[in-house]
Amino acid sequence: MTQRAIPRSSLPEKGITMKNTKLWQMVKAGLFPKPFTNGGRERVWLEADIDRWLLERADQGKGDAP
């Protein structure tokens, strides 16, 4: 299975529009997947990790409605 690596600039395509400061605070706190470098200076995330994080967030919100 091929895993796609996505850069910070592609996160809005997944609906993740938080500012850089908030994103890195969440990474540091373990609340957002940790990126890795793809051999250069660019930090990237595995698309599967981002998709999993989004699903977890959606599952957490299911119990909020009255």
- E-assigned strand segments in 8-60: 36-37, 43-46
| pTM (two decimals) | 0.82
pLDDT value at 66 more than 50: no
User: Mind listing the pLDDT tens digit for each residue in 14-65?
Assistant: 999 999 999 999 999 999 999 999 888 889 999 999 999 999 988 887 655 4
Q: What's the burial of 45, exposed, middle or buried (CB within 10 Å: 0-12/13-18/19+)? A: buried
| pLDDT at res. 63 | 58
Pick from 26, 47, 25: nearest CA to 36: 47
